[in-house]
Amino acid sequence: MRGVLTPELADQWFETLRKQIAWRQDNLSIGGRSIPIPRLQAWYGDAEARYCYSGLKMQPLPWTSLLGEIKKRVEELSAESFNAVLLNLYRDGRDSVGWHADNEPELGANPVIASLSLGATRVFRLQHRKSKHLNYKVELDHASLLLMRGATQHYWRHQLPKTARPVGERINLTFRFIKR
C-alpha cells in the first residue's frame, strides 16, 4: 500500500524517529565469528515481547508516545494487533538485510508482519524457497506499508539488498505479535 500517510506526516515521523530512537548496531554470530549487522536497529514493545533471531536476544524498550501512535495507525490499516516493533535504520546503500524468513518460534505458525517504510525508496526482494525462479521485487517508497501474512514465511524468503546507487536514509518499522 503506497501513500498510507501524508508526505508531511511521514516526513515528521521520519525526523522524530531518527532523533529519538535508541539506535544500536548489534553483532551476529555467524560461523563462530562476530559480525556487525549492516544497519542500525532498535526493539520496542510490551514488556513480555522478547525476541531472538540469529542468536541475538532482544529485550524490548517501552513504547514511546510516537511509536504508540504509529502502532495504532498500522493496526488500523492492517486490521491486526501488534505488541512489538523492530525498527531498522538503513543509513545508505551499503546497509542491508540478507535473505531470511521471519519464522522464529515466538512469532507463531503464520505470523503477520506489517512493514512501514519512511525515507528513501529501497528495493525489497521476495524469492520462493523451492522454486528460485519465482522472485519479485517491490520498491518500498516513503509512507508505504507492506503486509506479509498467512504462509508467506513458510514458502518465501525476503531481503533488502545493498545498492551501489546513491540513496538516502530509510527507516523501516516491522510490527509483529510476539507469542508467549
What would the 3-class secondary structure string for 25-82 be? Answer: CCEEEECCEEEECCCEEEEEECCCCCEEECCEEECCECCCHHHHHHHHHHHHHHCCCC
Averaged confidence pLDDT in the chain: 95
The CA-atom distances, in angstroms, between 41 and each of 36, 87, 90, 91, 160 are 11, 5, 9, 11, 14
Give per-residue pLDDT as tens, 51-80. Answer: 988 778 899 999 999 999 999 999 999 999
Give per-residue pLDDT as tens, 4-53. Answer: 999 999 999 999 999 999 999 999 877 788 889 999 999 999 999 999 88
Q: Is the pLDDT of residue 139 over 90?
A: yes
Give per-residue pLDDT as tens, 160-174. Answer: 999 999 999 999 999
pLDDT band at 1 (very low <50, low <70, confident <90, very high): confident
Instruction: Name the residue ranges covered by the structural domains of the chain.
Output: 7-176
CATH number of 7-176: 2.60.120.590
- Cross-strand partners of 148: 113
